[in-house]
Amino acid sequence: MPEATRTLLTKAQMAESIAALAKSIREAHVGAKEIALVGIFTRGVPLAKRLATALRQSGVKVQFGTIDITHYRDDLSTFQMVPKLEGSDIDFDLDGMDVILCDEVIYTGRSVRAALDELYNFGRPKRVQLAVLIDRCGRELPVQPDYSALKVTLQPGERVAVRFEEVDPAGDSCTIESQPTSR
Amino acid sequence: MTLTPRKDLLDIASLTDDEIKFVLDNAVQFKDLFKRSVKKVPPLRGQTVLTLFYEPSTRTRSSFEVAASRLSADVTHFDIESSSVVKGESVLDTVETLEAMRVDYIVVRHKQAGIPSLIAKNTRASVINAGDGWHAHPTQALLDAFTLQEIYKDLRGCRALIVGDIQHSRVARSTSLIFRRLGMQVAYLAPGSMMPREAPTEIPQFGNWRDALDWKPDVVYLLRVQSERLDEPFFPSAAEYHKHYGLTNERVEIIRERGLYVMHPGPVNRGVEITDAGMAYEKSLINTQVENGIAVRMSVLYWLRPGQV
């Protein structure tokens, strides 16, 4: 259990941040015929869904997909537990598509690397960008988000926890948790 | 959700309900990969899967080999015919050799029950039982359950009639067990000499098709007739077996009228367990079982993790 939790974004600020992300995406795609939002399991999926809803409301044509990165994780063999597979679901033609990968937090960049590998099993997109709610400093790979709502630098032993009511019974929250031991 | 990996898969009896569910659920995702142009994923990259078949089996062996390849493992076959096993090398000597080669997964088939378990105790590699004597064939059972789950979602209350040499069949043993674990009802149809000596009393035993079909099964599961058994005294001839226990053209019509599914672990003996018309029957799941076998074996390999001796 976390020793201490402090709020990074309130529920209302979370909603505002997602709206702001949607706005930046829309402004960067003025005149685009169609874009694809692809959420990375687990919490990139509700983020991508909310962004897709916001963008569609403002008249952008949006395709939606999901990516399960389990098979491409570089640390799979070190896991104590075996993850249940969610499966990727890209049911539109990816070739030539303008894709925005969505994840709730970027930290080391390893998940994004894995997501790109899995994404390429479905085709060859024209361009792939990255949207995150929280950009946590500490990259271990040369991967940067194109859209992010908030940038934070944390101490060792701290982590960002973003929760979405679609998958978390306790509802929306965005907090920093301090753990007795780092990962 | 996550689950603790196991080192070996030796039988169905030792699996928990959660483990069965985990393997079957993940198999859905593995089967989904077959629709892609790239069917291969990398979770077993750098790992070696070795098939060690003391009994010949082209189908099960290639199913495991395809499954392992699609997980990006390196796949090797230890050729028993040409190896020193024929010169009298014991199973454990062979295992010591494989241990020195540092293989990570060993898929074993042996005519003697318990050999996979013996091997598992003597290697750090994960051992998968691909059939041992009359004992168990767990991946067959898992793929059978998976195949029916694709149709029925919830198997509770679904009825399977298993037909053939129950007593000498590891498939019957493992598949009955998993079906019942998942809430299905199972009955046997076999001549007296092929009925199991000790079967749970809640499994009805029938001696003819009429009574067995009156039990109202949803699925008819035909076992393979082992051709080598046809010479044994208690066993009927192929023609006799077909007449009394096989899926004749006449019985195919009855089954079609009632809308029953037909399964068989393969390879089939046409004209013995089943006729050409039975093979062409639209509700035969036999080819689906083959396809699902790969997905289920991928799911098993994905879950197991080599460990310590």
Q: Which domains does chain A have, with CATH numbers?
A: 11-75+86-155 (3.40.50.2020)
The 10 Å Cβ neighbour count of residue B56 is: 10
pLDDT of B186 higher than 90? yes
pTM of the model: 0.92
Q: Is B72 in the same domain as B149?
A: no
Distance of CA B297 to the CA centre of its chain: 10
The 10 Å Cβ neighbour count of residue A3 is: 9
Q: Is B232 in the same domain as B208?
A: yes
Q: Is B147 in the same domain as B286?
A: yes
Q: Is B205 in the same domain as B222?
A: yes
Q: Is B132 in the same domain as B164?
A: no
Confidence of residue B128 (pLDDT cuts 50, 70, 90): very high
Would an 8 Å CB–CB cutoff place A42 in contact with chain B? no
Would an 8 Å CB–CB cutoff place A168 in contact with chain B? no
Contact B305 A72 (CB under 8 A): no
Task: Report how far apart the first and last C-alpha atoms of chain B are (Å, whole number).
Answer: 28
Q: Is B238 in the same domain as B262?
A: yes
Would an 8 Å CB–CB cutoff place A19 in contact with chain B? no
Contact B25 A84 (CB under 8 A): yes
Tens of pLDDT along A80-129? 899 999 999 999 999 999 999 999 999 999 999 999 999 999 999 999 99
Residue B299's closest chain A neighbor by CA?
A: A85
Q: Does B12 reside within a domain?
A: no
Q: Locate B171 and state its tokens.
A: 């498939």
How confident is the model over B131-159, as a mean pLDDT? 97
ipTM over 0.90: no
Q: Does B176 reside within a domain?
A: yes
Give yes or no for a contact between A63 and A93, defined as CB atoms under 8 angstroms apart: no
pLDDT > 90: what percent of chain A?
89
CA distance A11 to B211: 65
Give yes or no for a contact between B244 and B237, defined as CB atoms under 8 angstroms apart: no
pLDDT of A23 higher than 60? yes
Residue-range definition of the domain harbouring residue B46: 17-136+291-303
Q: Is B255 in the same domain as B299?
A: no
How confident is the model over B218-232, as a mean pLDDT? 85
Contact A70 B43 (CB under 8 A): yes
Contact B42 A87 (CB under 8 A): no
